[in-house]
Chains A and B, each alone.
Chain A
Amino acid sequence: MIDVDLIKKLVDIVSYSNIEELRVGDRDIKITIKKFSSGKVYRAQDISKEAETPQESPRSEEKGEEVVYITSPIVGTFYRAPNPDAPPFIDINDEVKIGQTVCIIEAMKLMNEVKSDYNGIIRKILVENGEPVEYGQPLFLLEPTGENA
């Protein structure tokens, strides 16, 4: 049984202390308390900035399901369609195949097609049309289907 009150108390204890890690066991007690393992360097104002940057890892767990990301291979401006009047290459819930063009990234006046490395279904589009993207930035979240080499 999970005792919420207990957890809250433990969280408070850690929050208002100088420790960084607390492990609690049971079946005749096992407690580990750690103070400052190291810590990354953030100023307060950086934390939000950092939080905006999605993880670069192309594979990541979300809600227990396996998902993958298509990330930007270059720096430039993200476009969902080949030109302003055309329909987007793909939309949410579309199925994509390996090698299929999913978007265009414009850089130095060149239109660079980005192709999917996965078979799967588009579950999220992570960048607005016309927005700048950096190298490695996740563009689409896919639920993989079938074979993914």
Chain B
Amino acid sequence: MNSRSGISYFTDEHDLFRQTFRDFLEKEVKPHIDEWEKAGELPRSIYKKFGEMGFFGMTHEEKYGGSAGDMWYNVIFDEELARMNSGGFSASIGAHPMLAMTHLNHEGTEEQKQRYLVPGIKGEKVGCLAITERFGGSDVQAIRTTAVKDGDDYILNGSKTFITNGVLSDFLIIVAKTAPELKAKGISLFIVDRESDGLSATALDKLGWRASDTGEIAMDNVRVPASNLLGHENHGFFYIMQHFVSERLAMANGGVATSAYAMEVTLKYMNEREAFGRKINKFQVLRHHIAQMASEIEMNRQFCYSLYDRYQNGDYLVKEASMAKLVCTQMADRVVTQCLQMFGGYGFMEEYPMARMFRDTRLGQIGGGTSEILCEIISKIMIDKEGYQAPN
């Protein structure tokens, strides 16, 4: 919970929501995490419960079933998910509202919103966002999936990988080239229903994020009606770039939240565990590790909050959001590794919280733009003075 002294971005309403949501998670989620981790997927029922409680609609308009809250509700949502200590759960639950529905909300037509966003907010339909391909990685411009116009339809061919909810979702927002010769300017987004002919998916076995299904998707002449084009044709790259900022901020703050949770459970353990006749929280070396980590967490948390604040005010933050994801996910790796080490042998045991956190956290520097890609973007802005300006 965040201190209310001095500057606070959170109101009493935010805090109330945080408490409600935390109680809900403790009751409806925490007891099932181990089982979902084992299953490698989430049951539909949990999406429905989220939907019933309104947790998918916090920032959406009331006419679609949302409660029109501000962006800090998303921040709280992410922070509280992190306390479940299941990157897979957070990813599966989060990819639906944060990735799929974000695009629907911004670029969808009224008809598309009625068909996908409304049931999405209710938790009755689950979505995913499919950008990445085997060849290309974080290089969005290099995608090879094509969508060729055929009468009133588009025919999609190609494949996607590393797609969270890629196997179990009901609909997929798929990125494809509608004009390959135009490179970045020839990319479009499509809403594809799961039952479409020619669409298949297989789940991947991963180091962590085990409660989420991460899919590889193949499209063999998948026919999509033109009414399922999302936004304007050939504007896809800009839509993606635009939402990258919020995605990166979420991953950055997720890194902070994970780090804070790692420290919380570690402090608790250190206060219980004894060695050489005293509690291990009395050992200077371990204490200084805590002091160092706490300071870095606090710094990065304030960085993220200040960026959310600016984001809400409409600032264009490609550079800063990339910076934040870079440093916060690096910090999370350091903090989680160090905290695991504090648990000694128990750190390696799956019955204690750090083993899973260690496996899950490692994705931070990989997903949503690797650290190396972020460095490329940041150095282009800092050194080559490239603008990465907002599209108009």
Does B bind A?
no
Interface residues of A (CB under 8 A from B): none
